[in-house]
Amino acid sequence: MYTLNLISIAIATLFTTARAVPTPDPLIPGYTITDFVWEVESYPGGPKANVTGTAQDVATHLSAVNPNWKTDFNISEALQNHQESKQKKRDLSFPFTSILCWVREDEWGFAFRLPLLTDIDFLNVVPGIPTMGPGPGACGRVACSDTAAVYWCNDETETFSLPSFATVAAGASAILDNCLDERLDIVNGQVFAQFLQNWNTIVRSDTC
């Protein structure tokens, strides 16, 4: 498993920021927000630990526990490969049953494209298995960079896991591909996945 190079955090601070919008409670009527818990390894093949927060919090935790984790998990290679793939045409084949753009704008605000891409970077390479539930409407914030936030929500009545956080990143990418206001370079949306179980991804503004 790979994790994003912390250099991305420093780069992200240079991006134009969106207006921070307090998280409403609930996120959507009928939805609830819980702290997201990650199961991650600090050393390859080592014991797993639970870390609460976003992908960025996981990177901070790994740095504190194992100062060599960037080398242990081949971070530079992973980051380089992902950055090269971003230069190619984005895959628009993410299967979804529906996608909503510009949802609850007064409460959700919007995310700028560049900070959202930083979130997607983190989710594509951060280690661990995303688990949420039970639902329906159980949501957790998995990434937040410069006020651009990514949530994913379980709409099943049982707890379930996805193969990796790259799956959530694919949902965020689908929102970016379909809901971006190219004139202002901002985005807001919610996408409902067609495969695996009943879940959805949200892109919005939030206080990081």
H-state helical runs in the chain: 7-12, 55-65, 69-72, 75-86, 105-108, 113-125, 165-179
Cα dihedral value 143, 147, 148, 149, nearest 10: 40
Residue 65, sorted as left (phi over 0), alpha (psi -120 to 50) or beta, turns out to be alpha
> Tens-of-pLDDT digits for all 208 residues of the chain?
433 333 232 223 222 222 333 344 446 777 888 888 888 888 888 888 888 888 888 888 888 988 888 788 776 666 666 565 554 444 445 677 889 999 999 999 999 999 999 899 888 887 778 888 898 889 999 999 999 999 999 988 999 888 888 889 999 999 999 999 999 999 999 999 866 568 899 999 999 8
List the beta bridge partners of residue 152: 140, 201
The verdict on whether omega for the bond into residue 136 sits within 30 degrees of 0, i.e. cis, is: yes
